Amino acid sequence: MTASGILLILLFIAVIAALTAPLGAYMAKVFAGERTWAHRILRPLEAAIYKLCGIDETAEQHWTRYAGGVLAFSVVSMLLTYLILRLQQWFPLNPQGIGNVASALAFNTAASFTTNTNWQAYAPETTMSYFTEMIGLATHNFFSAAAGIAVAIAVVRGFSRHSVKTLGNFWVDFTRATVYVLIPLSVAGAMLLCSQGVIQNFSPYAKAATVEGAAQNLPQGPIASQEAIKMIGTNGGGFTNANSAHPYENPTPFSNFAQMVFIFMIPAGLTYTFGKMVKDTRQGWAIFAAMLALFIFGVCVTYPAEMAGNPNLTKLGLTADGNWEGKEARFGMADSSLFAVVTTDASCGAVNTMHDSLTPLGGLVPLVNIELGEVIFGGVGSGLYGMLMFAVLAVFIAGLMVGRTPEYLGKKIEQKEVKMVMLAALVLAFTILGFAGAGVVLNTVKSSLGNNGPHGLSEVLYTYSSATGNNGSAFGGISANTPYLNTTIGFAMLFGRFLMMIPLLAAAGSLAQKKQTPVSAGTFPTHGPLFVFLLVAVVVIVGALTFFPALSLGPIVEHFLMHQGRLWS
């Protein structure tokens, strides 16, 4: 690792740490219904939405009604997006005359953007019109992110409240997340990106001639507005096929750094929001510390692995300064490695380097990040409630070790909560390994692979991990735009989003009804270094026990074979 690369990583950590408390405190006030600096400007918009939609902002919901609201909104918005995709050639703002999207791909894309995954089995420049990008997809970047934040706030209320049967109101939480958090940050983010050269227009594609004299179409469109929310909402869907490696989406090193900050700032801020809502900010900092430790470990593996490169090429004298395949020279090794870790720690999926071209260990880290449940800061909302799931498991294990009923934040963790948490945890493993296991023996999947051997297995494993973890990035060697892959990946995204979310809401509903237990000499403290260590250990051990056999046959064995000179075409 170089000195400048280390400095970049330290600066990134410093900026995220500096933003966590102020942004987290602001969100805590927003979801408590307290006045903030933004209320003078945005309260009329919030009130108008309640009046137009018939929402009573004082009404609270049982967890079943809250979950019903999440599902109802998601189903309706997914259906609307599907119809837009199927009928896009008849809508305006289509200067290129792009046709309708095929049914299987439309289902996959609608599921993708509804679940905050933004998996793209298509080339956006040639598949989506400006109308579809804005009305069908960019709106979902707001909606899916707001839904995730709302669920996280509801889960936190399960820990912070006692002797009640309600978790808040989904429609109110959803509206406040959109109006007070996502819209202001996205407007500011889009303006910043425009200042760096990210384009924003409705022009037809520009025609240019290459050096060789060939004709080339240069994509245009409202890119900056979508780029901001795709990062801030940890969505990740690119306006161009090259995603954040494209100079129209990510033109400068500063825009690259800003986009990484955009990805982490809300998930990091929500840890402080959690601490404020449970009236002990130390609890939030403990969650933040566990996430940060896992993030640093991932960077410290990926960056050196990419700097080392492929020893077989080094022996031939073809490269001596790391693995540059699939990377943008204007960003360099440190920026590319850091971005790969950040985007898979969060459920973002935007990429500025091609993950399929990473070294085996470099590619292992993004894959593991997703398979751990994307709780290393994670998606907006989903990262926090995912890490709280592991916190419950951690205190449960601690309780078993000392022979005491486990407690977390004054709530006894009993049979129902443990069952719901384990159900949510098993969904991830069942969906990833089930679909991937079926895929590797099917000719329809094997014929879509770009590589043989262990790297081919990694492509399949990464595909279903990314879909289930609602990440959206890919080992791009796999050609996923087939009816079978579009359909199964679509279901994997829906399972990973909702079959994990609903059990955690059920656990939160159960916890909210319980009385708080006073702290005693036997209470396990959940705000110190010991708890942070236990939480990190539980996250790693659960992931290792679940996915280590599959990873051993993929990137791990590929790493050792690479050092033995064995290559795969």
Work out the number of other CB atoms within 10 angstroms of the CB of residue 230: 32
Work out the number of other CB atoms within 10 angstroms of the CB of residue 434: 15
Report pLDDT for 209: 86
Q: How far is the C-alpha of 231 from the C-alpha of 241, rounded, in Å?
A: 16
Report pLDDT for 343: 94
Whether the Cβ atoms of residue 157 and residue 411 lie closer than 8 Å to each other: no
> Who's near 285: CB < 8 A, 6+ residues apart?
271, 272, 275, 527
Domain positions in the chain are: 29-282
User: Tokens for 472?
Assistant: 């959206």
Report pLDDT for 109: 94
Q: Residue 22: which of 231, 268, 341 has the closest Cα?
A: 268
Q: How far is the C-alpha of 485 from the C-alpha of 396, rounded, in Å?
A: 38
Whether the Cβ atoms of residue 232 and residue 181 lie closer than 8 Å to each other: no
What is the 8-class DSSP label of residue 234? Answer: T
Q: Residue 471: which of 362, 540, 373 has the closest Cα?
A: 373
Whether the Cβ atoms of residue 5 and residue 142 lie closer than 8 Å to each other: no
Q: How far is the C-alpha of 67 from the C-alpha of 498, rounded, in Å?
A: 9
Report pLDDT for 563: 85
- Single-letter amino acid code for the residue at 500: M
The per-residue pLDDT for range 306-356, each reduced to its tens digit, is: 998 888 877 776 666 788 888 888 888 999 999 999 999 998 989 999 999
Identify any residues that bridge with 411 across adjacent strands, giving them in sequence order: 408
Q: How far is the C-alpha of 555 from the C-alpha of 569, rounded, in Å?
A: 15
User: Tokens for 131?
Assistant: 């109308």
Q: Give helix then strand counts, H and E, for the chain.
A: 22, 4
Report pLDDT for 322: 84
pLDDT tens digits in sequence order for the chain, 569 residues long = 788 889 999 999 999 999 999 999 999 999 999 999 999 999 999 999 999 999 999 999 999 999 999 999 999 999 999 999 999 999 999 988 999 999 999 999 999 999 999 989 888 988 999 999 999 999 999 999 999 999 999 999 999 998 899 999 999 999 999 999 999 999 999 999 999 999 999 999 998 888 888 888 889 999 999 999 999 999 988 888 889 999 999 999 999 999 999 999 999 999 999 999 999 999 999 999 999 999 999 999 999 999 988 888 777 766 667 888 888 888 889 999 999 999 999 989 899 999 999 999 999 999 999 999 889 999 999 999 999 999 999 999 888 887 777 889 888 888 899 999 989 988 889 999 999 999 888 888 888 888 888 998 999 999 999 999 999 888 887 888 889 999 999 999 999 999 999 999 999 999 999 988 887 777 788 899 999 999 999 999 988 789 999 999 999 999 998 888 887 66
Q: Is 480 helix (H, G, I), strand (E, B) or coil?
A: coil
User: Tokens for 29?
Assistant: 């006030």
- Region of 118 (left: φ > 0; alpha: ψ -120 to 50; beta: rest) is left
Q: Residue 508: which of 394, 407, 385 has the closest Cα?
A: 385
User: Tokens for 444?
Assistant: 């329809």
Whether the Cβ atoms of residue 122 and residue 109 lie closer than 8 Å to each other: yes
Q: How far is the C-alpha of 488 from the C-alpha of 438, rounded, in Å?
A: 10
Structure-derived torsion over alpha carbons of residues 51, 57, 61, 64, reported in degrees to the nearest 10:
40
